[in-house]
Structure 1
Amino acid sequence: MAEHAAERTAARVAGREVLVVQDTSELALGGRRAKADGYGPVGKGGALRGLLLHAVLAVDAGSGALLGLVDAPVRNRSGGKVKSRRSRTTAQKESQRWLDGTARAGVVLAAAQSITGVSDRESDIYEHFVRRPDNMHLIVRACQNRRIETNDAEQIGQLFGHVDSLPEQGRFAVEIPAAPGRAGRKGELAVRFGRVELRRPLHGASDLPPTTTVSVVDVRETSAADGEKPIHWRLLTTYSVTSLADAQRIIGLYRMRWVAEEYFHTIKTAGFNIEQADIAEPEIMIKLVAAIAVAAVTVMQLVKARDGTTDQSLLEAFEPADQPILEAISARLEGKTARQQNPHSKGSLAFAAWVIARLGGWTGYYDKPGPKTMRR
């Protein structure tokens, strides 16, 4: 299912600047009963059992339109003992999923004009930068206070201290959207940037080059009110950053990583309520998760297209044979008032979103159709 979805995504990206957003979500399916059924541990403490979904999504870097699924491996942890983290290679760790997702994106999206991988702190892995595909750049939020080369050959510096010492290069205003535990607000961000040479980790990476060079963009919110946790991102990127405009571009691309949060929200409480599925056999549940991983992309595309702002073709979510069916249904659903008419042009994804929303129970008058309506 994931491979078929990837084939469709590959057909949509030709000539486009594509952002690859990947992240992992834990699907909590229960406690003792789920354990007895064979589900592995998720969450902290091991009391909860379930599956892990690692989604790799393709997004248009210009419009923010969701283009499709690149990969969606689903994993059931064994729960057995593992060797010490330092004694294992990346290939022996769960963190290998980040490298696999990046490698898969380089293959699936090869027809794109450019490919940029964006991921959060869990993907801050030295090998991730070293082994990235030649046709792909990375933007990763730093997690490790890595060792770096300095001008003094006898000293080894630390990444975070070096970044803190860089001069501020400018400030700009942004809208900071609401998030769990945080209200939306206007903010001012201060920016620093530079070039750093990361040193190879001391453990589990002896076959890798001793250093690799990346740019670092440091972003700090200067306007947070008392009680609000200010934004602070240290972004590592394989792009060259030599100006404030370059840095702002990297920051803007990284902010689009939020699509992954929306995606998992759609899979869970906002759309499919996947964690409420009562399926005792893990292998069957894995197949359901894969099917929903594909369907959630279409639901998100419809929600984002409902206002006509993504300017996407209907064919980015439907087959050509679906178009006359959607047009016939639209004609049947339209009413006499202006608000009961489909306002979007035929052949657009917005046109299809209006039809699907109406079939899902939306009247055309109140609020805007969300993921639950589109899923219905």
Structure 2
Amino acid sequence: MDYVEDILWIRNQFKGVDLSDKRLVNRLDNIAYHMMAKPNLSIPKQNVEWKDTKAAYRFFDCPKVQFSQLIEPHINQTKKTVKKMSQILAIQDTTFLSYGHHPSVEGLSDIGGEHGSKGMILHTTLAVNPNQSQPAIIGLLDQYLHHRTGKVDKNESYKEKQQRWRESKIWEEASRRISLDKAKTQIIEIMDREADIFDVISNCLTLKHDFVIRAKNDRILDVMDNKKLFDFVRGIKPSGTIQLELRKRPSQIPRIAKLNIAYARVEILGPKNRKDETIECNVVYVSEKNPPRDQEPLEWILLTSIEVNSFKEACQIVEWYKCRWIIEEYHKGIKTGCKIEERQLKTRERLENFLGVANIVAIRILKIRDYARNMPHISAKKVIEPLKVDILLKYRNIKKKDITIQEYYREVAKLGGFLARKSDGEPGWQTLWHGETELTMMTIGAKMALGEKKCG
């Protein structure tokens, strides 16, 4: 990986975008470059001059600009890369973008919550390369914005429910869109409990996609014995134990968990009125031994199409499912890093277009961070703009001509408030974003002092 200037990288991601006007394409490049430099700041603060700010607002409001157009070139590039690979993880997940604090936005729909919040439902599929020392993001493979219309009749019959379009179909439709014609790439879909739907599983098999899905439903395995999935897997003798680092969550303290691993072959029955349909798959059961007091023990019941005949193969399924955290980091990137939910744009369409640009910015930061994890000892100047590295070294009083990419990111995080104590682990999104913004502002100032025309 050789350093590519941010503006060139951005232009490449939007290369071929169909906006019917070259001026709009140039404006898009400029907006994205400014957003990458200062992702968490307001639109006026991202842009140097008032004319650029006005142009950005006009761009997001332009009827010629649509969300799907903005992300299409990047998705096509991701698919082109994936087709050359033997195996990828396709991680699907849904997140809710809430604008309950900004009720005047036109065109938003009900996304639930205590107070009936208005917002958008974003469903994303990320392509991830699992065959590196640390799994690395390739890019967006698919993305869909859903807006609810009307309310569902609570008294509808099962037949009526099956005949209408349901939100659960989002998962199936995403799987179909990521299929690669004539490619030999093994696609392993990674999905959380919301995707534990018989039709979603069946659809993966029809498309010849493999899957790892965390079970949500206690499915019947045998009608005659009334045998159910959860009791069955909890009765399987563990074949071994592993240790897994659990990240901090609202209801979970960070810790190294000791986990029992068990596996078996199961046959799950179809839903009501379709019990003659069955799916054979494997199940990997993960359960925590001796969790800390006041902590719920970790328990994963993972359904998979992939053969599991040994403890080692079961552990591989766990490793792949663990990669779900990457899409959670991506969601943090657009929410915490690009502050998509805090943007005070007046219409849904403007917010969608802002998101179309912010998506690519979040992917860029994730990809650079992956270099730090997978190639920690390479020179920072091979990945990051050399002037930016020099400014960091000077500001942090580091008496070296260069540092590794891993060292670079820790020093950037310190600019953002990361204390780097032994117990602190790796820096998180917020400190990295704040530190990167601080360093970018210094770099812009240095370029201005050096007389460069392009200073962000």
Q: What is the DSSP-based 3-state SS (H/G/I as helix, E as strand, rest coil) of the residue aligned with 2:131? A: coil
Q: Single out whichever of 23-32 and 226-235 deviates more from structure 2.
A: 23-32
1:102 aligns with 2:175: yes
- Compared CA separation, residues 54 and 340, structure 1 to 2 (3 A): farther
1:200 aligns with 2:260: no
* Matches of 1:118 and 1:342, distance apart in 2: 38
Displacement of 1:354 in angstroms is: 6.0
* Matches of 2:293 and 2:170, distance apart in 1: 38
Task: Provide, for residues 10-58 of structure 1, a one-character-per-residue CA deviation record: whole Å limited to 9, x for no partner.
Answer: 2333224211111111111125834x72311113245211111111101
Contact 1:19 1:116 in 2 (8 A): yes
Using the aligned pairs only, state the percent identity: 23
Report the AA paired with residue 66 of structure 1: I
* Corresponding residue for residue 130 of structure 1: 202
Displacement of 1:142 in angstroms is: 0.3
Q: What is the DSSP-based 3-state SS (H/G/I as helix, E as strand, rest coil) of the residue aligned with 2:317? A: helix
Displacement of 1:309 in angstroms is: 3.0
Task: Provide, for residues 99-147 of structure 1, a one-character-per-residue CA deviation record: whole Å limited to 9, x for no partner.
Answer: 1222222228x74642211110000011112111544200000011112
* Corresponding residue for residue 161 of structure 2: 88
* Corresponding residue for residue 318 of structure 1: none
Structure 1, gaps ≥5 residues long: 315-322, 345-349
* Matches of 2:306 and 2:136, distance apart in 1: 23
1:287 aligns with 2:353: yes
* Corresponding residue for residue 253 of structure 2: 183
Between Structure 1 and Structure 2, the one with more helix by share is 2
Q: Compute the TM-score of the two structures, normalised by the length of structure 1.
A: 0.80
- Compared CA separation, residues 301 and 339, structure 1 to 2 (3 A): farther
Q: What is the DSSP-based 3-state SS (H/G/I as helix, E as strand, rest coil) of the residue aligned with 1:301? A: helix
Displacement of 1:252 in angstroms is: 0.9
Report the AA paired with residue 293 of structure 1: N
* Matches of 1:148 and 1:295, distance apart in 2: 45
Structure 2, gaps ≥5 residues long: 1-69, 421-426, 441-456
Q: Compute the TM-score of the two structures, normalised by the length of structure 2.
A: 0.67
* Matches of 2:383 and 2:302, distance apart in 1: 46
Report the AA paired with residue 120 of structure 2: L
* Matches of 2:392 and 2:238, distance apart in 1: 56
What pairs with 1:195-344 in structure 2 (closer than 5 Å)?
Answer: 195-203=265-273, 206=274, 210-269=277-336, 271-306=337-372, 309=375, 329=387, 333=391, 341-343=401-403
* Corresponding residue for residue 103 of structure 2: 33
* Matches of 2:248 and 2:138, distance apart in 1: 24
Contact 1:19 1:118 in 2 (8 A): yes
1:139 aligns with 2:212: yes
- Compared CA separation, residues 311 and 214, structure 1 to 2 (3 A): farther
Report the AA paired with residue 176 of structure 2: A
Q: Single out whichever of 254-263 and 323-332 deviates more from structure 2.
A: 323-332
Report the AA paired with residue 343 of structure 2: A
* Matches of 1:144 and 1:305, distance apart in 2: 38
Which of 1 and 2 has greater Rg? 2
- How well do the aligned residues superpose, as a CA RMSD in angstroms? 3.5
Task: Provide, for residues 137-165 of structure 1, a one-character-per-residue CA deviation record: whole Å limited to 9, x for no partner.
Answer: 00000011112247xxx445322222223
What is the aligned residue count?
350
Contact 2:102 2:344 in 1 (8 A): no
* Matches of 1:27 and 1:253, distance apart in 2: 27
- Compared CA separation, residues 90 and 221, structure 1 to 2 (3 A): farther
Contact 1:272 1:372 in 2 (8 A): no
Q: What is the DSSP-based 3-state SS (H/G/I as helix, E as strand, rest coil) of the residue aligned with 2:118? A: strand
Q: What is the DSSP-based 3-state SS (H/G/I as helix, E as strand, rest coil) of the residue aligned with 1:73? A: strand
- Compared CA separation, residues 136 and 373, structure 1 to 2 (3 A): farther
Report the AA paired with residue 283 of structure 1: E
Contact 2:389 2:408 in 1 (8 A): no
Report the AA paired with residue 118 of structure 2: R
* Matches of 1:69 and 1:254, distance apart in 2: 18
- Compared CA separation, residues 326 and 257, structure 1 to 2 (3 A): closer
Give the one of 47, 53, 70 matched to 2:141.
70
Report the AA paired with residue 335 of structure 2: K
Q: What is the DSSP-based 3-state SS (H/G/I as helix, E as strand, rest coil) of the residue aligned with 2:331? A: helix
* Matches of 1:25 and 1:76, distance apart in 2: 13
